[in-house]
Amino acid sequence: MLSAGVVGGTGYTGVELLRLLVMHPQVELQCVTSRSNVGTKVAEMFPILREHTDIAFTEPDDAALGGCDIVFFATPNGTAMTMVPALLERGARIVDLAADFRLTDVAEWQHWYGIEHACPDVLSEAVYGLPEINRGAIADARIVANPGCYPTAVTLGFLPLIEEGLIDDQHLIADAKSGVSGAGRGANVATLLCEASENFKPYAVDGHRHLPEIRQTLGAVAGHAVGLTFVPHLLPMIRGIEASLYAVLESTNVDVHLLYSQRYEAERFVDVLPVGSMPETRTVRGVNMCRIAVFKPQGKDTVVVSAVIDNLVKGAAGQAVQNMNIMFGLTEDAGLRNVALLP
Amino acid sequence: MLSAGVVGGTGYTGVELLRLLVMHPQVELQCVTSRSNVGTKVAEMFPILREHTDIAFTEPDDAALGGCDIVFFATPNGTAMTMVPALLERGARIVDLAADFRLTDVAEWQHWYGIEHACPDVLSEAVYGLPEINRGAIADARIVANPGCYPTAVTLGFLPLIEEGLIDDQHLIADAKSGVSGAGRGANVATLLCEASENFKPYAVDGHRHLPEIRQTLGAVAGHAVGLTFVPHLLPMIRGIEASLYAVLESTNVDVHLLYSQRYEAERFVDVLPVGSMPETRTVRGVNMCRIAVFKPQGKDTVVVSAVIDNLVKGAAGQAVQNMNIMFGLTEDAGLRNVALLP
Amino acid sequence: MLSAGVVGGTGYTGVELLRLLVMHPQVELQCVTSRSNVGTKVAEMFPILREHTDIAFTEPDDAALGGCDIVFFATPNGTAMTMVPALLERGARIVDLAADFRLTDVAEWQHWYGIEHACPDVLSEAVYGLPEINRGAIADARIVANPGCYPTAVTLGFLPLIEEGLIDDQHLIADAKSGVSGAGRGANVATLLCEASENFKPYAVDGHRHLPEIRQTLGAVAGHAVGLTFVPHLLPMIRGIEASLYAVLESTNVDVHLLYSQRYEAERFVDVLPVGSMPETRTVRGVNMCRIAVFKPQGKDTVVVSAVIDNLVKGAAGQAVQNMNIMFGLTEDAGLRNVALLP
Amino acid sequence: MLSAGVVGGTGYTGVELLRLLVMHPQVELQCVTSRSNVGTKVAEMFPILREHTDIAFTEPDDAALGGCDIVFFATPNGTAMTMVPALLERGARIVDLAADFRLTDVAEWQHWYGIEHACPDVLSEAVYGLPEINRGAIADARIVANPGCYPTAVTLGFLPLIEEGLIDDQHLIADAKSGVSGAGRGANVATLLCEASENFKPYAVDGHRHLPEIRQTLGAVAGHAVGLTFVPHLLPMIRGIEASLYAVLESTNVDVHLLYSQRYEAERFVDVLPVGSMPETRTVRGVNMCRIAVFKPQGKDTVVVSAVIDNLVKGAAGQAVQNMNIMFGLTEDAGLRNVALLP
């Protein structure tokens, strides 16, 4: 039985993590911290947990957290980096669901996040937690940087083509769409039901923080910098990301469906759909899965990939649990075998 | 390990039942029938099942179904009654999720459903599968009539007041609202997204088929016929029923919250909320639970009860699994311990 | 041409009022005030107005507002009462869309709104702006208190029965449901898309501020205090209120459909539907209309009324324009003849 | 006063056209035909029209329709072409909202629509009704082919770049998203609320009927065939299309915002947003408008255009009315000046 701590369990990523952890057969939820809710029962804030845990929020405390086998940070960007060094020293292992340890280049990180990094040394040790490319390193990591939601979908979607060097990687297009839960549980006019439902729009066209993260991973795979246009859009729904990816093939002869099927054959949480099937976000709602389809429309030289995930699961809390399973040698899908809701 | 058969697994109730059964640790899904989809993999029609079952739809067949320990009917009204007698003879036990065995009075049944009943003798043997009032009889039943969705919420909501004889039961008001999944997966203009979203309306004010079902159960509890006005409404969302119930108390002195808390204390799937809390349908989405609050607004003599369920779970497939668990002596919440999605 | 001023044009009621006023052929929009947005073009905040007005937000200013023929307050409760006396003195006439002048009893107002009333004398002069009962007084009023959204639907729904004294008015039930826009444009966790969509719940069961408002109007019509249980619910959609009303008839002989048809025959903005038709909120989306149906289900002694309005139009801005039209002797439907969107 | 006939007024395009026509000050609705609803009042099927027209559906009749100044076809593909020749002979002018007259190449039309064209000669006379490129020809046309919804957004979005020859037009990418109303009012499992809400997916990746239509128009502008990858997606909402367009600029020096602003300066129904603003579909809901923004993200050589329309208005019925206004010399925005609903 692993003892787990969660720092910042009051956002959507946090509560999704709690949902997965209370159902995980090999995890005991030790503490959930929230400065502003100390003493409140977790199930009072989130009635979905009423039958499942009696735990209350506590102050973040180095001793209590440091005594856990695994500590998850589901905090705003910039929080984990101030607490992680002390917890590592006490022997806890860490999965950070925020962005503090995602970019390996400190200057780049500081450019996009607008603050100074509190522990560059830990940053240099952190492993980027995308199991499909880093499984081995994750197993040994003390600290895992859980990928962003868009980067998970876009990276898994482009990966086989980049690995094989089959496309013009200087003009990659990622047209991504996310449900509103990606924007978090903060009070915000733009994400009110009255603003975001019956509406659709692109945003952050000039530069989203997930752009350098995707470029970093794909560039490392390619062995050189890639050129990527990444346009996120806001969907009028709660959960789900769909990324439609476009690139020009160097040759139209490649069997792209076969390429993807073979690349992901052994991956428990990547599902390449049969020829002719299109991914739908609802088929991954609530589950740790990325479903992918790949096409050459009209037999032309432009390849189209569509990848879907639940932004809160494979794009956040589910992937965090998957990383934990790998770090502690559990079956990779332990606690992650539930079926998506339909409808 | 119980072997289970599902007749009619292509509607929303059917696929929800499949979702619960493939996750149930003591059930083996033996066969799923659908005349019009013989040979099609269940997971091809419902991609949420891709990682969970390889089974294909088969013809309904007495021998195959009759060899199962338990057979569920998730068919349109009028189908189960033609097949059940043969299956009972072969030794299978039955849970019918349709309405064929819900009304004990054959004439009343024929009046509301507009067809002749095919097996009145089996009807007279069937047990109404609301565990909170019939647990003992369900355990011994060969055939269980799984309650309707509205009747589950309305009956559990009124039950303690009727049992104790505390209200004017000749003027009960049930203002109920259901998500669109209650209308099923049939192609139908009225339930298109463009018709049912951003819209709200009452329907069937003059008489819904669930009215006699509720009256039958509450009348049996009261020991005499009750007077009930039942108005269903269509909610612009997928899952969830909320029933707001109104009645005039004989006396304003009763502590209604205490009454409900005590009545349902031992019930695993009825949750009486703390004073001041209001039920929300999303807290039961995907789970087998009825959450209830009860009030005397302004301290007056009108009592208000609000009960929420997921119409496809406690209102259909989940309750069916709960009944199966009772029938076969399994833990009542086996396979029913998952946590609701939030958000 | 009437010159109009709008105080507080940045909420949903405000922008709906702007939408109606820029389309009104006899109104010139003179000024729109918002302390926190002075200098910003109205169409920059609300791009729907880009082709329709070039006006910018200004400071609330007595001289500018007082020079308008009509000033609308679309401000939070408690603001209008501090500004209205000065504007009346300058000769402007007022429609307050907030609650400052809705309750005639100062003590009752202070009890429900929790602050002292700033101008009880003006309060005593104000006319409750429900044209269907107060048309004459509205025509002559200097200040009109525009009714709340729920009170408009519930009052119009019960009115004919109360006027004729046909029901037990001590046990009225109003089960009302509102779209989320009723909660306003403030940043608020409870009205985020992720909290309010795919969800339904009752709220304020113990006492909503619209309760005394409805009781006041119905009590005045009845000639004595009425007993009302009013339970509002939150719908997962943007616009629309449906109120399902229940009461026990003194006699089952009354032809309720005829009663309603005759009562509202001459009313341009109340539509009694043909027998058998049910109102849907979408049929009044964006338009100044209340559609009503009335039933005696199963021929019993309980009467059921369903009334729908758009909470932002007949429940707020549209009714305000209707009141302005009456006050200035314009055709009552001037600027209010557009057709609802479908779908 | 123009007399107008509508053939096929029972779909979403049809009812939207009726909504616009009953509000048009210079149009008299003469007849609305529907074989299967003869005798039914239009307002009985669509209660939004209750206060606005008393007309009933009639049989399609050459004499009655041919006597109208203008006849709109809001029928399924393949119907208009069988009726148009006779109506032209009687002197009526035609706007076809279906696809019968959109492709100038008969063989191409037959390939994509799978049936033989009934009147190739009329096809060769038809004018493609996109006023922003064909205003002059529309004014003189006897028959106008109203553009498809996706083609309207995609064509207006790419137009200035193609006209000026600034991009690699062999690798155009159009990632388009549409609300469900684009799929029509037919009973269909895929567009049920329970299937299409809380879900997002691409479809028809291998070839949508709007692809050849866009290629035809852009190719004519370019003076040679263009290469286009067009991927439509289904949005979980009722109305609205957003098209995100991607192309590689021949030179990064061009001021794309200035280019678009100048190109559309005189266009009443194309709105180029200020620098930094992003289009949202809700800002065009219910109105005849295309809003556009254009970017060079990160200053690179990939240009990104986002164009939004209401698929039923500028993408169908509104553009049809705009075309009628041009054909009959009315002010181009007559009957098209209403303001979008917000929220």
- Structure tokens that stand for A234 in this block: 């806001």
Query: D127 and D164: one domain?
Result: no
C176/chain D closest Cα distance in angstroms: 21
Q: Rounded to an integer, what distance in angstroms lies between the CA atom of residue A226 and that of residue A165?
A: 11
Range list of β-strands (E), D179-301: 201-202, 228-234, 241-248, 270-272, 290-295
- CA dist B18 and B24 (Å) reads 10
With H, G, I as helix, E, B as strand and everything else as coil, classify residue B305. strand
Please check whether residue C162 is in contact with residue C221, taking contact to mean a CB–CB distance below 8 angstroms: yes
Considering the domain architecture, whether residues A263 and A226 belong to the same structural domain is answered as yes
Nearest CA in chain A to B14: A342
Q: What type of residue sits at position A20?
A: L
Write down the catalytic residue from D31, D119, D149, D290: D149
pLDDT band at D82 (very low <50, low <70, confident <90, very high): very high
Give burial (CB, 10 Å; 0-12/13-18/19+) of D91.
exposed
pLDDT band, very low/low/confident/very high, at D252 (cuts 50, 70, 90): confident
Task: Sort residue A202 into left (φ over 0), alpha (ψ -120 to 50) or beta.
Answer: beta
Q: How far apart are CA C129 and CA C93, in angstroms?
A: 13
pLDDT of residue B299: 87
Tell me how far apart the alpha carbons of residues C132 and D51 are, in angstroms, rounded to a whole number.
18
Q: Which helix (H) or strand (E) holds B42?
A: helix B42-45
Nearest to C310 by CA among C152, C183, C199: C152
CA angle C231, C233, C237 (to 5 degrees): 155
Cβ-defined contact of C342 to D280 (cutoff 8 Å): no
Residue C332 domain-assigned (yes or no): no
* Phi, psi of D166, rounded to the nearest 5 degrees: -95, -5
Which chain A residue's Cα is nearest to D179? Answer: A198
Last residue of a domain, one of A57, A91, A125: A125
What value, to the nearest 5°, has the Cα angle with vertex B48 and ends B195 and B54?
Answer: 135
**Do A194 and C236 lie within an 8 Å CB cutoff?**
no
For residues C55 and C111, membership in a common domain is answered with yes
* Same structural domain, B157 and B116: no
- In chain A, which residues have their Cβ closer than 8 Å to the Cβ of D215? none
Closest Cβ opposite residue A175 in set D201, D244, D295: D244
CB atoms B46 and A342 under 8 Å: yes
What is the structure's pLDDT at A266? 98
Q: Give CA–CA dist D83/D143, Å, rounded.
A: 12
Which residues does D47 contact at the CB level (< 8 Å), separation at least 6? C273, C277, C280, C283, C291
pTM to 2 decimal places? 0.97
Q: Which of B341, B209, B240, C117 is nearest to A287 (CA)?
A: B341
Residue A329: other Cβ atoms inside 10 A: 8
Residues belonging to chain B with any Cβ–Cβ distance to chain D shorter than 8 Å: 12, 180-181, 185-189, 191-198, 236-238
How many angstroms separate the CA atoms of D235 and D196, rounded?
A: 8
Among residues B222, B118, B115, B121, which one has the least CA distance to residue B170? B222
> What is the model's pLDDT at position A299?
87
- Other CB atoms within 10 A of residue B331 CB: 12
Q: Which residues of B are catalytic?
A: 149
Chain D: residue nearest C270 by CA?
D51
- Domain membership of residue B130 (yes or no) is no
Question: Which amino acid, one-letter code, is at B302?
Answer: T
In a domain, A321, yes or no: no
Q: Is residue C134 within 8 Å of C127, Cβ to Cβ?
A: yes
Q: Do D180 and B186 touch (CB under 8 A)?
A: no
Alpha helices in chain A (DSSP H): 12-23, 42-45, 62-66, 80-89, 106-113, 120-125, 131-140, 149-163, 193-196, 210-222, 256-264, 318-327
pLDDT in tens, chain B (343 residues): 999 999 998 999 999 999 999 999 999 999 999 999 999 999 999 999 999 999 999 999 999 999 999 999 999 999 999 999 999 999 999 999 999 999 999 999 999 999 999 999 999 999 999 999 999 999 999 999 999 999 999 999 999 999 999 999 999 999 999 999 999 999 999 999 999 999 999 999 999 999 999 999 999 999 999 999 999 999 999 999 999 999 999 988 899 999 999 999 999 999 999 999 999 999 999 999 999 999 999 889 999 999 999 999 999 999 999 999 999 999 999 999 999 999 9
Residue C322 inside a domain? The answer is: no
| Residue D338 located in a structural domain | no
State pLDDT tens for residues B231-268. Answer: 999 999 999 999 999 999 998 889 999 999 999 999 99
Instruction: Please check whether residues B197 and B70 belong to one and the same domain.
Output: no
Same domain (yes/no): D111, D255? no
Pick the residue of C44, C192, C292, C339 with the most D CBs within 10 A to test the interface with D by mutation.
Answer: C339
For chain D, what is the radius of gyration of the CA atoms? 20
Residue D279 to residue A65: CA distance in whole angstroms: 46
- Shortest distance between the Cα of C318 and any Cα of chain D, in A, equals 13
From the list B200, B230, B248, the residue facing C240 with the nearest CB is B200
Averaged over D284-295, what is the pLDDT?
A: 98
Average pLDDT of adjacent 10-residue blocks, chain A of 343 residues:
95 98 97 95 97 96 96 97 98 98 97 97 97 98 98 98 98 98 96 98 96 98 98 98 98 94 98 96 98 94 98 98 98 98 96
Kindly state the helix (H) or strand (E) to which residue C178 belongs, with its residue range. strand C172-178
D109-117 mean pLDDT: 97
Interface test with A, best of C194, C195, C310 (most A CBs within 10 A): C194
User: By percentage, how much of chain B surpasses pLDDT 90?
Assistant: 98
Q: How many domains does chain A have?
A: 2
Are C297 and C242 contained in the same domain? yes
Instruction: Among B314, B333, B342, pick the best mutation site for testing chain A contact (most A Cβ within 10 A).
Output: B342
pLDDT at C299 over 90: no
**ipTM here:** 0.97
Chains contacting chain B through 3 or more C-beta pairs under 8 A: A, C, D
Whether the CB-CB separation of C191 and A194 falls below 8 Å is answered with yes
Chain D partners within 8 Å of A205 (Cβ) = 278, 293, 295, 297, 304, 306
Q: Do B193 and D193 touch (CB under 8 A)?
A: yes
Of C198, C206, C293, the CB nearest to B238: C198
Across D68-85, average pLDDT: 98
Q: Which residues of D touch A199 (CB under 8 A)?
A: 237, 240, 280-282
Q: What angle do CA B158, B162, B168 make, to 5 degrees?
A: 95
CATH number at residue C12: 3.40.50.720
Residue D185 inside a domain? The answer is yes
Contact A12 C194 (CB under 8 A): yes
Regarding whether B299 and B224 lie in a shared domain, the answer is: yes
Range of the domain at D32: 2-146+316-327
Q: Do the domain assignments include residue A130?
A: no
Same domain, C65 and C187: no
Question: With an 8 Å Cβ cutoff, are D205 and A295 in contact?
Answer: yes
Q: Which of the listed residues C125, C140, C158 is the one where a domain comes to its end?
A: C125
Q: In what order do the strands lie in the sheet with C290-295?
A: C201-202, C228-234, C172-178, C241-248, C302-309, C290-295, C270-272
Q: Which residues of A touch B23 (CB under 8 A)?
A: 337-339
CA distance B200 to chain A (A): 16
Residues C181 and B176: their CA atoms lie apart, in Å, by: 22
Q: Do A280 and D306 touch (CB under 8 A)?
A: no
Query: How many Cβ contacts (< 8 angstroms) between chains A and D?
Result: 145
Contacts of D236 in chain B (CB under 8 A): 193
Residues C26 and C102 in one domain: yes
Averaged over D188-208, what is the pLDDT?
Answer: 97
Number of Cβ atoms within 10 Å of the Cβ of D115 = 11
In angstroms, the CA D157 to CA B163 distance is 67
Indicate yes or no: CB of B201 within 8 angstroms of CB of C240. no
Q: Which residues of A touch D248 (CB under 8 A)?
A: 171
> In CATH, what number is assigned to the domain containing residue B293?
3.30.360.10
pLDDT (0 to 100) of residue D322: 98
Which residue in D has a C-alpha nearest to residue C194's C-alpha? D198
For residues B50 and B114, membership in a common domain is answered with: yes
How many angstroms away from the CA of D319 is the closest CA of chain A?
21
- The structure tokens listed for C325 are 């039209």
Tokens standing for residue D85: 């020749």
**Between chains, do D277 and C338 touch, taking CB under 8 Å as contact?**
no
Chain A partners within 8 Å of C192 (Cβ): 180, 185, 187-188, 191-193
- Select from B111, B112, B175 the residue whose CB has the most chain C CBs within 10 Å, as the one to mutate to test that interface: B175
- Using a CB-CB cut-off of 8 Å, the residues of chain C touching A45 are none
Residue C174 lies in a domain: yes
Point out the catalytic residue in the list A31, A68, A119, A149: A149
Mean pLDDT score of chain C, rounded to an integer? Answer: 97
For A272, B71, D70, the CA distances from B91, given in Å and listed in that order, are 42, 10, 71
Q: With CB atoms and an 8 Å threshold, state whether D189 touches B186.
A: yes
pLDDT at C15: 98
Shared domain for D101 and D213, answered yes or no, is no
Q: Which two tokens stand for residue A228?
A: 């990527």
**Nearest chain D CA: its distance from A98 CA (Å):** 24
Nearest-Cα residue of chain A relative to residue C185: A189
Determine the distance in angstroms separating the CA of A200 from the nearest CA of chain C, rounded to an integer: 13
Contact C298 B206 (CB under 8 A): yes
Nearest residue of A to residue C194, measured between CA atoms: A238
Would you state the pLDDT for residue B157? Answer: 98
Q: Hunting for tokens 């009443």 — which residue is that?
A: D268
Identify which of A229, C241, C99, B200 has the alpha carbon closest to the alpha carbon of residue D298: A229
